[in-house]
Amino acid sequence: MLSINFIDTIAHNQFLALFLSITFGYMIGKIRIGSFTLGGIGGTLISAILISIIGGKLDNQIGDLGFACFLFAVGYDCGPHFVKTFNTRNIKHVLLTIFLVLISLVVVIACAKLFNLTKGMAVGIAAGSLTTSGIIGAATDSLNNLNYTNSELNIIQNDIATGFAITYLFGTIFPAIFCTTILELLYKRNIRSDALLEENTIRTNEQILVKGGSQNLTLQPFVLMVIEDIMIDGKTVSELEKAYNGGMSVHKIRRNGQLISVKPQTQIFKHDKLLISSKPKKLIELATQLGSIVTWSANEWSINLVTKDIIITNKKYDGLKISKAIEMQENGSFRRGCLLSVKRNDKKIDHIDLEFEFHIGDIVEVYGIEEEVNQIAHIVGEIVAPNPKTDLLFLAVGLVCGQLIGLFKFNILSVSFYIGVLGMLFAGITLGWLNNLYPKLAYVPKSVINYMQDFGITTFIAGIGLSTGAYAISGLWHDGGKIFFIGFLVVVVPLLLTYLFGRFILKYKNISLFAAALCGARNAEPAFSLVLERSGNFIPTLTFSVAYTIANTILITLGPIIISII
C-alpha cells in the first residue's frame, strides 16, 4: 500500500514547497474584505512562512534567479516610457515621485537610527511599507557582496521577512484610504467630479471618434457603394474627397469596363463608375448627390475585405495625431482604411480621439480593402505576423548583459556600491527602449514580460518566507508592536509631506490626477484601482502611468542605499 508522509515530502522537495507557497499564497491573496485584497505577493509570504515551520525550504539561488528575471522584466516594461516621462508636460509627476521616494528614505533611516534597527529590519520595513518587494532583492544582492557569514546573513534575512510581513498590510491599506477618502475630505470635493471635469476639458472642441469601441469614418467598419452617372466631370480624387471634408473616400474607378488605379491626382469623368466608402448614415445621401447607386459585387471589383494588425515603425508617425494621419493625401493614408483599435505595450487603448498621438511600436488594427491595407502597412510600418514566436535569443542576450553590468562597482565618499542585480534592471530598460524604438529588432509579447515579473518576484518572496519560518513568527510575537509603529511612520509621514508638496508647491488642482499620481509614486496598485473605480473614466491613468514608471525603477534602489548607510 502506497504511503506518503506529506510533511516529510515537503521538507525534502523544495519545488513542492515553492509551488505550495505560491498556490496557497494566491488563494490567501484573493480573499476579499470589503473592497480590499491582500494580493498574491503578501499571501505568498504568509503561506511560505507557515510552510517553512513544517520544514519547507528553497535554495537561495532559485530565489535569486526569480528576482533577476523580475528586475529585467520590470526594466523592459518601463524602458519604452522611461525616457519619455522626462518632459515638461510630465515633470510635475516626476518631481512628486522623486520627492516621495526621498522622504521615504529619510524616514526609514531616521527610524533606523532612533530605534536601533538592524539593516535587515530597516530593509524589510521599507519594502513592506512601500509595498515594493523589489527593495528586498536589491538589498539582499548588496548583502551578498559584503563580508557576512552565512549565519549572519540568515539573521538579516529573518529580520527582512519579519519587517516586511508586519508592515505590508498597512502599507497596502492606508494609501488606498488616503488617496480616496482622506484626499476628498482635504479638497472638499470628490474624485468623480474632478475626473469628469478633466475629461470634459480634454474633449472640448474635439470630435470624439472612439470611446470603448464607438467609431467614425476611420474607426468604424465603413460601408462601400458603387455609383455611376457621375454628376462631376474632370475633378481629381483629391478634390472630390476634400469637397466632403474627408467624409468619403474613392477606392476604385471603373472606366470603359476597366479598373484603373486610384491616386490623389486621378481625374474623374461622368461616365466612370466609382467605388466609394463613408459612414453608414451619410452614404446614401452622399451617393445620391454624386450620381446613381448601382448593384455591385466584390468579385466584379476585385476586392477582398480584411482586418490586419500593423505595427508602426515609420518615425514620421511617432507623435502624429490621428487628425493629421487622416488628412494625409498619400496613397495608403488612414482615410482609406478603418482604424478599429490601437494597442500599446499589448494593452488596448480605450480612449482614442482626434488628438490621440501614435507612437513607434503601436499596433493598429485596420479593416479595409486588402491592397489598401497593405499600402497602409507599407507606409506606416509592417503587418504583424499571426502568432509570432518569442525571440528567446534577444531575451537571453539581455539577461547576459544584465549580469555583466552587475559586475561593476563604484565608490561614493569611500563607500563602495556594487551595481549587482540592478544591472538586470538597467539592461531591461535599455533593451525595452531599443525594441520600442526599433520594433523589428525582436518580438517579445507583453504576456511573457508579465510572466517574468509575476513568477520571478513571487518565487523570490516565497524563498524569503521559506528561509525564515519560526524566527519570523517569534519576531511578530515579541516586536510586532514596535515594528508596526515604525511602519506606520514610514507609510503616513511621506504621504502627508508629499500631499503638502504636491498641493502647495506643485499646485495640483485636480483630485483625480493628484490621487493617481500619489498612487503611482509609491507603487500602490490596489489604491490606484480604487481611485480608478471612483473616477469612472480613464483620467487617473494619465498621471499614474508616469509616476508608476519612475517609482517602479527608483524604489528598488533604496535597498542597497539602506544597506550602505545603516
pLDDT digits (tens, 9 = 90+) for 397-444: 999 999 999 888 776 655 556 677 778 888 998 998 888 777 778 888
Calpha distance 228→214 (Å, rounded)? 31
The answer to whether residue 503 scores a pLDDT higher than 90 is: yes
Higher pLDDT, 297 or 260: 260
pLDDT band at 496 (very low <50, low <70, confident <90, very high): very high
The SS3 assignment for 351 reads: strand
For the entire predicted model, the pTM comes to 0.69
pLDDT at 442: 83
Task: Say whether pLDDT at 275 is over 90.
Answer: no
Can you give the pLDDT at residue 107? 98
**Contact (Cβ atoms closer than 8 angstroms) between residue 145 and residue 420:** yes
Which whole number is the average pLDDT over 511-516?
95
pLDDT at 101: 97
Looking at 151-155, 182-186, 437-441, which range is the least confident one?
437-441
Whether 86 shows a pLDDT value over 80: the answer reads: no
Residue 410: which of 423, 397, 400 has the closest Cα? Answer: 423
Residues 305-318 have a mean pLDDT of 86
* Per-residue model confidence as pLDDT tens digits over 38-60: 778 878 888 988 898 888 888 88
Residues 475 and 479: their CA atoms lie apart, in Å, by 5
pLDDT above 80 (res 116): yes
Query: Residue 217's pLDDT band (boundaries 50, 70, 90)?
Result: very low
- Residue 290 backbone class (left: φ over 0; alpha: ψ -120 to 50; beta: rest): alpha
Residue 67 has pLDDT above 60, yes or no: yes
pLDDT value at position 191? Answer: 93
What is the spatial order of strands in the sheet that 305-312 belongs to?
347-348, 338-344, 363-369, 305-312, 381-383
Tell me the pLDDT of the chain averaged across its residues. 83
Inter-axis angle of helices 134-144 and 60-82, nearest 10: 120
CA nearest neighbour of 116 among 493, 438, 566: 566
Q: Is the pLDDT of residue 106 over 90?
A: yes
Under 8 Å between Cβ of 136 and 164: yes
Confidence class for position 77, pLDDT limits 50, 70, 90: confident
**DSSP state for residue 566 in the 8-state scheme:** -
With a cut of 70, say whether residue 29 has pLDDT above it. Answer: yes
Return the minimum-mean-pLDDT range out of 86-100, 276-290, 513-527: 276-290
Q: Which three cell numbers stand for residue 549?
A: 514608471
Fill in the amino acid letter for 339: L
Angstrom distance (rounded) from CA 33 to CA 51: 24
pLDDT at 546 over 70: yes
Residue 336 has pLDDT above 80, yes or no: no
The pLDDT of residue 466 is 87
Residue the block writes with cell 528561509: 467
- pLDDT of 348 strictly over 60: yes
